[in-house]
Amino acid sequence: VQLQASGGGLVQPGGSLRVSCQASGFRHGYYGIAWFRQAPGKEREGVACIQTSDGNTYYADSVKGRFAVSRDDAKNTVYLQMNNLKPEDTAVYYCATDEVPFPCVVVVNSKGTGLDLWGQGTLVTVSS
């Protein structure tokens, strides 16, 4: 069972970037994918989450209206589209999940300590 995050990079303020999280090895699928980020010197925080069962999406207040999470079931991939990026969005972005159901509405406002499966992280730098 593995999550592979990719797509990070350098982008100017106001720009857009899409990061991806590909899931593999799940025998029965996964219940949802959550995105977290950790900026230098700061604690990890939830960013967004998509619930597989109903497709509902959830966002942290800091990214609402700017970020969008989606999924492509054929590719077992979840995307985080980030628009109107700000320097404070600079962080390592991680995707995470678990093999037991979890509530996105709770996880998105947490540090994700209850999730067991994590991708390796991808760095997003917003700077001019």
Task: Note the pLDDT tens digit of each residue in 54-67.
Answer: 889 999 999 999 99
CA atoms within 13 A on the CB side of 14: 1
Angstrom distance (rounded) from CA 59 to CA 38: 16
Angstrom distance (rounded) from CA 7 to CA 29: 23
Given a cut of 90, whether residue 44 has pLDDT beyond it is yes
Report, as an integer, the average pLDDT of 94-107: 92
Q: 94: which residues sit within 8 A by CB, 6+ positions away?
A: 5, 35, 36, 37, 38, 44, 112, 118, 119, 120, 121, 122
* Residues making up the chain, counted from first to last: 128
**Residue 53 confidence class, pLDDT cut points 50, 70, 90:** confident
pLDDT for 1 = 79
Given a cut of 90, whether residue 28 has pLDDT beyond it is no
**Residue 25 confidence class, pLDDT cut points 50, 70, 90:** confident
Helix (H, G, I), strand (E, B) or coil at 65: coil
Angstrom distance (rounded) from CA 33 to CA 21: 8
Given a cut of 80, whether residue 11 has pLDDT beyond it is yes
**More confident call, 37 vs 54:** 37
